[in-house]
Structure 1
Amino acid sequence: MKHTPILLEESVKSLISNTNGLYLDCTFGRGGHTKKILEKLSSEGQLISFDLDDAAMEVAKNIDHKNFKFIKTNFSQIDDYVEDDSLSGVLIDCGVSSPQLDEPERGFSFQTKGPLDMRFNQKQKLTCKDIIENFSEKQIATILWKYGEEKESRRIAKLIVKKREQNAIENTLILAEIIKTAKTIKTKKHPATKSFQALRIAVNSEFENLKTCLDRIKDKLTKSGKLVIISFHSLEDRIAKQTFKPKINFHEKNLPLIHEDVSDKFKISKIIYPSQEEISMNPRARSARMRIIEKL
């Protein structure tokens, strides 16, 4: 399936205020946002894009632009490549690209048979298989609850451990069926949706890396620089809000707030959602939400 970037026009329009500036696309994916950003920049504007995925790197090789640079790295390593006070804007798309979801051998999908992999970085050691085979019932339940907000995390973890003692859980379809069997709460979504999300996040340390990246972006943005972040569930959005909301310190109780007590001043927009038209054309957009965070 062709990957269609979600909120493409809205995100790039919100991102670029200085066409001569330096921009960072933290999540290249299949290059949709990167290409659109390059279209909007002047001959002086520059763009750096990050991604860990080998397939993303191959796509990036086909972008012939003198002011574009692709770096194969995790966005948590931003300090290694970007100077403080240098970025006019940063884009983060927390979603998994459609080609990754649709390639059975990557193990992201509960709808096609594939290995229990789920790694963004194919050189990384930890896989979903390691978690399913070796983690304790309590550890698995914690992952499902913490990263997927799965209400039946304990039931699912208990059945996974029971089933793996009987036979090896060899692929994504077997795992999805176990999860479906354990679930008692019926919803419109596939029963394995939240669990697969949680396992993917755990395998790739997604929240830890996102928090590290966001903390470092504070110093990388110029004054009036913007972060545009597209997230796909409340957990990611919460991390962004908590990272950039004003931190107020009172030296003594009931004393009035003074100017120096507010650190890292950022303006956080309300959530922007995809249009109904976009959702009808791309159902994966239905859970997307976008925030714009501006450094004041």
Structure 2
Amino acid sequence: MRIKHIPVLLDRSVDLLVRDPDGLYLDCTFGRGGHTRKILEKLSEKGRLVAFDLDDDAVKEAKMISNENFEFYKTNFSEINQFIENDSLTGAIIDCGVSSPQLDQAERGFSFQKDGPLDMRFNKDQELTCSTIIHNYSEKEISDILWKLGEEDESRRIARFIIKRRELKKIDGTLDLANIIKEAKRKKTKKHAATKSFQALRMAVNSELESLSRCLESLKNKLIESGKIVVISFHSLEDRIAKQAFKNKPNLVEKKIPLFEGELKQEFKVSKVLSPTDTEISMNPRSRSAKMRIIEKL
């Protein structure tokens, strides 16, 4: 069964991104093609769109798009240097995190509400899985992942419970892991007890922050003047990376030294956070935590 995915901030993100219908655009995280299809609607015959994704279901979805202006590559979006030339890109969009179909398919192992294998891979060809981390990493390594990537303040206690349990028997599936985390947590919150831990493990399995950082660094040289990057994130660390990557560093010069015109010019302008409207949240509750930033090359 084909599970529908509702892209977050779809209309606003594409309207802000596509200003030149003849330009070259990049959908760094194709997913189920929501942003791609919307961008293609706005392109002229001269316009071009390139999309990336590692997920096999995304590959199948991309094959369903018949458009001469569209190219798809099964690769990590951190590898854009292989496909996009410098000073050629009009705009790019990055929609971080996991898609609804991935969450809803228990066999992918992303959900703590449906039982599935401890997998969590975007790319099924890679060796590292959530099970590898849970059953082979040290207590400190697991704790560090939960703290650094999930900002889980009970990370040490959760890691300790995981180690104790795996010493007795194998942790069997996502619901088993979620129950261990729930048992370990002393603080009660509105969110499910395993939310932060599952997010952290998924990000570790797929090297999500490293890929995002590499992609953003590469995009600096790919954009043309007035080119834009739209970053949609669901995690404070992702948003921080997007903001810091394009932070204009002050020129380290003495005040008395005369400067030539343009030496203090900012390279990029980063917008304030844009959030989903109440209407969108009511239609798509998973969009509640989304943050969008627009980065423009000056």
Structure 1 pair 78–183 and aligned structure 2 pair: CA distance change class (3 A): same
- Is the alpha carbon distance of 1:256 and 1:9 closer, same or farther for their aligned partners in structure 2, counting shifts above 3 Å? farther
Superposition deviation, residue 18 in structure 1: 0.6
CA positional deviation for 1:257: 9.2
| RMSD over aligned Cα atoms | 1.4
For normalisation by structure 1, the TM-score amounts to 0.97
Q: Contact 1:246–1:263 at 8 Å: present in 2 too? A: no
Cα distance in 1 for partners of 2:258, 2:138 equals 48
1:14 to 11, 16, 35: 16
Give the equivalent residue in structure 1 for 2:137.
135
Structure 1 gaps of 5+ residues are none
| Matched residues, number | 295
Residues in 2 aligned to 1:53 and 1:132: alpha-carbon distance in whole angstroms:
22
Alignment-derived partner of residue 92 in structure 1: 94
User: Which residue matches 1:211?
Assistant: 213
Per-residue deviation, 1:181:
0.5
Note the C-alpha offset of 1:2: 1.4
Superposed CA deviations along residues 208-227 of structure 1, whole A, max 9, x for unmatched, are: 01000000000000000000
The C-alpha deviation readout for 1:261-290, integer Å capped at 9, x for no partner, is 657610111100000111111110000010
1:221-257 Cα offsets, whole Å, 9 max, x none, are 00000000000011100000110010124245x6679
SS of the residue 2:211 aligns to: helix
Match of 1:26 in 2: 28
> Cα distance 1:255–1:190, how it changes in 2: closer, same or farther (>3 A)?
farther
1:80-119 paired onto structure 2 within 5 Å: 80-119=82-121
**Identity percentage of aligned residues:** 64
Match among 164, 167, 170 for residue 165 of structure 1:
167
In the other structure, the counterpart of 2:249 is 247
Match of 1:193 among 192, 195, 216: 195
1:57 aligns with 2:59: yes
Runs of 5+ in structure 2 lacking a partner? none
Structure 2 length as normaliser, TM-score?
0.96
User: How far, CA to CA, are the matches of 1:93 and 1:6 in structure 2?
Assistant: 8
In structure 2, C-alpha distance between the alignment counterparts of 1:193 and 1:145, rounded to whole Å: 13
Moved over 2 A (4+): 254-264
Counterpart residue identity of residue 14, structure 1? L
Q: Is the 8 A contact 1:218 1:264 kept in 2?
A: no
